[in-house]
């Protein structure tokens, strides 16, 4: 049975890239929250309640969404075929 060849696109995101994506999601959510704060003072009637709820509840959801990692499930990463495992010599194990 032939194994599927490992592809660079199937590897998970680097920790830096994952962190950057989570920071972007959080920043967008906080931008929407600021817009809700501004709209509280600009809209009439019961719309104030809608935007007030958005301003109050968005921080919780922003943190939850930002902390969810978008990494795919970690699979088995195979060594490239050209690399050989070097076993220590028996006399080096002492």
Name the token pair of 46. Answer: 């019961």
29 within 8 A of 65, measured Cβ to Cβ: yes
Q: Tell me whether residue 15 is exposed, middle or buried, using C-beta atoms within 10 angstroms of its C-beta: 0 to 12, 13 to 18, 19 or more.
A: exposed
Q: What is the pLDDT of residue 81?
A: 61
Query: How far apart are the C-alpha atoms of 16 and 91, rounded to whole Å?
Result: 41
pLDDT in tens, 8-62: 566 677 888 888 988 998 999 999 999 999 999 999 999 999 999 999 999 998 8
Name the token pair of 65. Answer: 């969404």
Q: Is the pLDDT of residue 72 over 60?
A: no
54 within 8 A of 36, measured Cβ to Cβ: yes
Pairwise pLDDT comparison (70 vs 68), residue with the higher score:
68
Distance, CA of 61 to chain centre: 14
Region 74-94: mean pLDDT is 64
């Amino acid at each position: 049975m032939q194994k599927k060849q490992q592809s660079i696109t199937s590897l998970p995101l680097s920790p830096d890239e994952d962190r950057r994506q989570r920071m972007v999601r959080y920043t967008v959510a906080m931008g929407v929250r600021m817009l809700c704060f501004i709209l509280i003072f600009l809209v009439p009637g019961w719309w104030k309640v809608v935007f007030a709820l958005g301003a109050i509840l968005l921080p919780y959801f922003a943190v939850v969404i930002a902390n969810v990692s978008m990494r795919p499930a970690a699979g088995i990463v195979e060594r490239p075929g050209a690399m050989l495992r070097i076993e220590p010599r028996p006399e080096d194990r002492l």
